[in-house]
Amino acid sequence: MENNGKQIVISLGGSIIVPEEIDVKFLTDFTGAIRNYVANGFKFLIITGGGKICRKYNESLKQVTSPTFENLDWLGIAVTRLNAEFIRICFGNLSYEKIVLNPDDIPHTDKSIIVGGGWKPGNSSDLVAIHSAKSIGAKKVLNLSNIDFVYDKDPKNNKDARPIKQMSWFEFKALFPDSWKPGGNVPFDPIAAEEAEKSGIEVVILNGRNIENLINCLEGKDFEGTVIK
């Protein structure tokens, strides 16, 4: 799959695929919107995350045994790949017949949608999305999750948290830890942030549940979200 200016890379958070139960309404709206863009010549490379279900598995495993970080990573990778298979099938014959397991080896295909999941231990789905973008020459990744913006402090615990609409990678990294762990809960994986900065890739963080807002972003109109570059 070559980047022709109409190639969109999306990091699709597991938190909006399966918040508690599988969100059928969101998936119907999301796949419908993507199908409309495919009809207009766009191609999509979608990398799925694990989300809350991944954290549930990890926490449950810790109650049964003493898993290593690598154990937890492989468990999380399995969840992201399950989500990837699910999303791939949702798009029917528009999608490539297999999920991508290695973001450095994106298949060449006439299919309009390629879906991938986790890669290997030590790598989040965010980092997979950045590697995927590099593989096809894309300079932007849309990160869809359940948050509206990056904030200057945790909005769950701070009522005065301020949304940030534009920021540099330097400013982003100053707000969050510089390491990543399986099941971590940050707006964007710090290791992926480092790689995005090195590669000159812009990341847009927005609430994927708001389909109209996503469409505005895709069309270059005003939208609610954080642009990091």
pLDDT tens digits, 18-69:
999 999 999 999 999 999 999 999 999 999 999 888 889 999 999 999 999 9
Q: Is 182 exposed, middle or buried (0-12, 13-18, 19+ CB in 10 A)?
A: buried
pTM of the model: 0.92
pLDDT tens digits, 186-224:
788 889 999 999 999 999 999 999 999 999 999 999 999
CATH superfamily of 7-228: Acetylglutamate kinase-like (3.40.1160.10)
pLDDT tens digits, 99-142:
999 999 999 999 999 999 999 998 889 999 999 999 999 999 99
Q: Which residue has the higher pLDDT, 134 or 177?
A: 134
- Kindly indicate the confidence band of residue 6, based on its pLDDT and cuts at 50, 70 and 90: confident
Q: How far is residue 54's CA from residue 203's CA, in Å, rounded to a whole number?
A: 23
pLDDT tens digits, 7-18:
999 999 999 999
Q: How far is residue 102's CA from residue 120's CA, in Å, rounded to a whole number?
A: 9
Pairing of strands 140-145, 7-12: parallel
